[in-house]
Amino acid sequence: MKAGPAIREERLHDRLARFARIGATARGGVNRQALTEGDREARALLAELGRTRGFAPRQDAAANLFLRREGRDPSLPPLMLGSHLDTQPTGGRFDGALGVLAALEVLEALEDAGVETPRAVELACWTNEEGSRFAPGAMGSQAFAAGALAPEWLEARSPDGARLADELDGTLRALPGVPIARLGTPLAAYLELHIEQGPVLERENIPVGVVTGIQGTVWLEVVIEGRAAHAGTTPLAFRRDPMVAAGAILHTLHEGIMPGDDDARFTVGRIDAYPGSVNAIPERVTFSVDLRHPDAETLGELERRVRAVCRREAERAGCALTLRPLVHMPPVAFPAAMVELVEAGARRAGLASRRLVSGAFHDALYLASRAPAAMIFCPCRDGVSHNEAEDVEPRFVAAGATALLEAATGFLRSSAPAAA
């Protein structure tokens, strides 16, 4: 393999700016939710950029999009680099897009340098990592790892009423010239660059985060059903008010979970009252629970506690309770060899690094069940993400992409088949 592939910072910055314009919001963020027109536009641009460089695009039934740069032996499973292009409703310009465009930058750097790699290198753009329009998150990578889309996902409805199966179909048809491969093609290893979405690296001014694993995540949908009634005429004794139960649940869990455990994360990001009229006691209150912990057993214990508090407070308010599990992601640790590969790559590039566990889930969590995987983090300003103000200093964008390139070429060298 000839030496010399290098990241072209300008090209990467231009790409990030170009993709940030797709779904750009007035406050400088991005709203490019999974399987929307904006998502389709970004995917089409990515396919076009790949085609221009001879990286063959393909997609699969979960609308994951791949670009493939051939290597010497096409029969060898490829090295895969990826992330996601879908965003939160008030997302930032880097969450996901940085990993996809840095992966493209690695493919282009290899191409620019005329490097023949022993095996193909593929870029993967995973569908619906965020899970905010359609649960669960990391849907595309889950389907890829399992080799199938869970049938119950297909009937899922987004808050705007769209049906997942229809949105998937429309997204696939939006790339008519891109063949649809089976779900779960082979891979030798997976690497993902992502912003840290937390404060650690920036606080320590360290450009490269070597991610050792991802904490566990549980999402629940909590539905509390009481009886709609008149706000003015219904005395307390006659009320079966789901909002009373919801208020008690949120108070008890906010007070009881995070203050007692620095590693625990409890978030209610969405709450809805039906019919949502000022002067009617609601018939139904629905809210989301996002629960996280690095320790699987503790996460299980926290979930049991959430369920028990929901049952107790619903009963107290004379309401019915339905708890729907939406996501269950056990914590994952990346293989030591892959973690060391990333660390060695940062060292070769002269970049300071430190190890850390990811508080956010990522597609790498599912790829780790199919092949040796690892992640690279770069610092983001004030550790803020899932916020339109999300920002990354240009020097950290360049450092992250360089670390990805070094880890990729390090893997390609270490896994090159012995010369025949």
Residues of the shown chain interacting with ligand HGY in the complex, contacts defined by CB under 6 A = 129-130, 137, 360-361
3 state SS of 224: strand
Residue 207 interacts with which of ligand HGY, Mn ion, none, CB < 5 to 8 Å by class: none
Nearer CB in complex with ligand HGY: 366/411: 366
Q: How far is the CB of 210 from Mn ion (least distance, A)?
A: 18
Peptide bond into 331 cis (omega under 30): no
Please identify, using beta-carbon distances, which residue of 267 and 415 lies nearer to ligand HGY. Answer: 267
Residue 137 partner contact from ligand HGY, Mn ion, none using kind-dependent CB cut-offs of 5 to 8 Å:
ligand HGY
Determine if 137 is a binding residue for Mn ion (CB under 5 A).
no
Token pair listed for 374:
């690892």
Q: How far is the CB of 134 from ligand HGY (least distance, A)?
A: 13
| DSSP H helices in 283-335 | 296-316
Question: Is 341 in contact with 411 (CB distance < 8 Å)?
Answer: yes
Tokens of residue 417, six digits: 């088949």
Instruction: For the CB of residue 390, give the shortest distance to ligand HGY in the complex, in Å.
Output: 11
- Kindly state the smallest distance separating residue 132's Cβ from Mn ion, in Å: 8
- State how far the Cα of 254 lies from the Cα of 248, in Å rounded to an integer: 10
Q: What tokens were used for 153?
A: 């996902």
Query: Out of ligand HGY, Mn ion, none, which partner does residue 96 contact, by CB within 5 to 8 A per kind?
Result: Mn ion
- List the structure tokens of 364: 């790498």
Given Mn ion, ligand HGY, none, residue 361, with its beta carbon under 5 to 8 Å by kind, binds: ligand HGY
Q: Which is nearer to ligand HGY, 358 or 402 (CB)?
A: 358
**Residue 130 CB, nearest approach to ligand HGY (Å):** 5
Distance CA 72, CA 95 (A): 33
Q: Which of 374, 379, 383 is nearest to 345 (CA)?
A: 374
Q: Residue of minimal CB distance from ligand HGY?
A: 360
Q: Name the binder of 373 from Mn ion, ligand HGY, none, CB < 5-8 A by kind.
A: none
State in angstroms the smallest separation of the CB of 12 from ligand HGY. Answer: 21
Query: How crowded is residue 139: how many other Cβ atoms within 10 Å of its Cβ?
Result: 32
Min CB(26)–ligand HGY separation in Å: 23
Closer residue to Mn ion, CB minimum distance, 209 or 242: 209
Question: Which is nearer to ligand HGY, 143 or 341 (by Cβ)?
Answer: 143
Q: Which residue's entry shows tokens 């012995």?
A: 418
Nearer to Mn ion, 99 or 410 (CB): 99
CA distances, 136 to each of 182, 195, 267, 293 (Å): 21, 21, 16, 18
- Strand 229-230 to 216-225 pairing: unpaired
Give the amino acid at 201: L
The interface partner of residue 216, options being ligand HGY, Mn ion, none and the CB cut-off 5 to 8 Å by kind, is none
State which residue, 110 or 201, has the beta carbon closest to ligand HGY.
201
CB of 152 to Mn ion, least distance (A): 23
With H, G, I as helix, E, B as strand and everything else as coil, classify residue 205.
coil
> Interface residues for Mn ion in 64-103 (CB under 5 A)?
95-96
Nearer to ligand HGY, 9 or 221 (CB): 221
Question: From the CB of 229, what's the least distance to Mn ion, in Å?
Answer: 40
290: helix, strand or coil: strand
Tracing tokens 């320790």 back to the chain, one arrives at: 295
d(CA 41, CA 36): 9
Which partner from the list Mn ion, ligand HGY, none does 192 bind, CB cut-off 5 to 8 Å by kind? none
Question: Distance between CA atoms of 93 and 24, rounded to whole angstroms?
Answer: 8
**Length reported for the chain:** 420
Closer of 136 and 226 to ligand HGY (Cβ):
136
* Amino acid sitting at position 107: L
**Residues contributing to the site for Mn ion (CB under 5 A):** 95-96
